[in-house]
């Protein structure tokens, strides 16, 4: 179910206070807004921080969509 329009996008309060270009964040549910474009964010994926550079195409998506939590599986070559 989508978020209600009257509530607006969710942005964690730590994103509003900071003036730095790059900082660590555990808030994967924060919506990317136009003021974030061009900035770098270190988003936690459960084990480590993944650096994300925000572009225009990411507006409206969540930060967690770009920090994958699972490792991609690759089949091993048989002898």
Averaged pLDDT in 10-residue chunks for the chain of 79 residues: 83 74 82 88 91 92 90 85
Provide CATH code, domain 7-63: 3.30.860.10
Q: Please give the pLDDT value at position 3.
A: 81
CA distances from 65 to 17, 69, 73, 78 (A): 23, 9, 18, 34
Instruction: Identify the pLDDT of residue 19.
Output: 61
**Domains of the chain by residue range:** 7-63
What residues have CB less than 8 Å from 15, skipping those under 6 apart? Answer: 25, 27, 30, 36
Read off the pTM. 0.78
Q: Tell me what pLDDT residue 18 has.
A: 65
What are the φ/ψ torsions at residue 59 (nearest 5 degrees)? -60, 130
Instruction: Identify the pLDDT of residue 57.
Output: 94
Instruction: Give the span between the Cα atoms of 78 and 15, in whole angstroms.
Output: 48
């Amino acid at each position: 179910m989508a978020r209600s329009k009257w509530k607006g996008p969710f942005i964690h309060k730590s994103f509003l206070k900071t003036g730095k270009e790059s900082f660590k964040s555990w808030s994967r549910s924060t919506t990317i807004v136009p003021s974030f474009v061009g900035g770098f964010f270190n988003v936690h994926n459960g084990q480590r921080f993944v650096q994300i550079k925000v572009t225009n195409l990411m507006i409206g998506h969540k930060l967690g969509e770009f920090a994958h939590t699972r490792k991609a599986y690759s089949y091993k070559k048989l002898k």
